[in-house]
Structure 1
Amino acid sequence: MEKFKSANQSKISITELMLPSHSNFGGKVHGGHILNLMDQIAFACASKHSRSYCVTASVNKVDFLNPIEVGELITLKASVNYTGRTSMVIGVRVESENVTTGKKKHCNSSYFTMVAKDADGRSTPVPGLIIEDEQGVRRFARSIQRKKQALSRTSRFESSQFQMKDHLQELNKENVKVNIGSIG
């Protein structure tokens, strides 16, 4: 196994025509179909980097920015943004293109945490990432920050740590009615 690899060594891009079979009841391309394609390209990118079978551990923030129309081409681009010991964060960008006008739209960006597995299904080490430009440093640093935020969120809302009284004031500003017998 190589000790370090650049993001360029495992970058992947695919383009696919969106068909009527990909549409939802509103006539747009179904978000679930796009997520499936995103997971596939994240898997391919992570596997190419690690030379191992990889599994999706988490997906960070999926925002659908623009609808995708049937008949448009979508291009998915994936690259390694971060490497841990056995995990990688794969950045995935989705763009659509109207084939008649050539107009392109950014439709989605998301971050998939993928974990490399050995033949017995145990997590296995991955090559580190060679960063070759400022954008690479920014992506790696942002991934570290997201990892810290995720750990903080997880522990703060763990049932053994959660203090309801600390959050009731926040709920007063929302579209919710708290109807619990006695709140102390």
Structure 2
Amino acid sequence: MEPTNKEIIYCQKVLHLLEDLQKVQQSIESFAEYSDKQKIHTHQTLSLILKLIIFLIILGVGILLKLSLVLLLVISVVYLFIFCLLFRYDSKKFKEKLALGGGTSLKMKSLNADLNKLKAEEIKIQTELNHFNRIPSQFKTTEVVSHMIRYMKRGEAQNIEEALYFWKMDETKHSAGK
């Protein structure tokens, strides 16, 4: 008895949805990483500009007060040392804040909106995938469904249940052989 095309088509639809879900999840991961990097870069740039402005103000005040060149040099070295420490501390604090979900600038809101669109797409695909309930959720992976399709195309299984049974048997053989 040959498998019905309906069984194969059913599995192919599930496989297609799983592949789409995988793509969206990868996009979410890479977008989230990109978004965090952008937020950190923007913050570090603004922090650097602010600290350089403060440095220039200190030098300007020193020149106006007609401080000696040696004293200005000492003040500059001390400030640059403090600047380096503050920059590292500020960057660490910002990364911690970012991990907690901080950030409210317009650019960040735009990035979050794009990320929310991707998450909505993920939920939509997951909801559609849940309608295909003949395959248990723990077996809804691209690997398992691909094997099930192969079993049916080769004629080893006539329906989804048999294909799933053969896949479980193969997995048991592989795990026992290791």
Band of TM-score, shorter chain: under 0.3
Say which one has the larger Rg. Answer: 2
TM-score normalised per structure 2: 0.21
The structure whose RCO (Cα within 8 Å, separation 6+) is larger is 2
